[in-house]
Amino acid sequence: QMQLQESGPGLVKPSQTLSLTCTVSGGSITTNYYYWNWIRQPPGKGLEWMGSIAYSGSTYYSPSLKSRTSISRDTSKNQFTLQLSSVTPEDTAVYYCARNWGHITTAQAMGDWGQGTQVTVSS
């Protein structure tokens, strides 16, 4: 049974880098042709796809966040990580990791989800 679990600090100061890890169990992040995604939902707003890392290690980013976003993986730990730099209070959101077979950018269509983790950007 596929499970995804987000972890990381719940509070980040403005201008710092937000770093979250998604730990995957029940399947390998290198399995063909799965894509591993980061999605967020700010308060009162819809889901926003941020980026993904493919089974191959290739990365894809939302154009609006590309300059501040980096996604990487540790295959030995079966984890993938999000880093979002220069955060502002507008980056306050619930952050989710999700898996999908094939590359898509429609957040709502993702197949498997973590439970989400709240991140607040505040001094």
Instruction: Give CA–CA dist 12/63, Å, rounded.
Output: 23
Amino acid residing at 11: L
pLDDT in tens, 27-77: 999 999 999 999 999 999 999 999 999 999 999 999 999 999 999 999 999
* Structure confidence by residue, pLDDT tens digits, 68-118: 999 999 999 999 999 999 999 999 999 999 999 999 999 988 999 999 999
d(CA 115, CA 21): 13
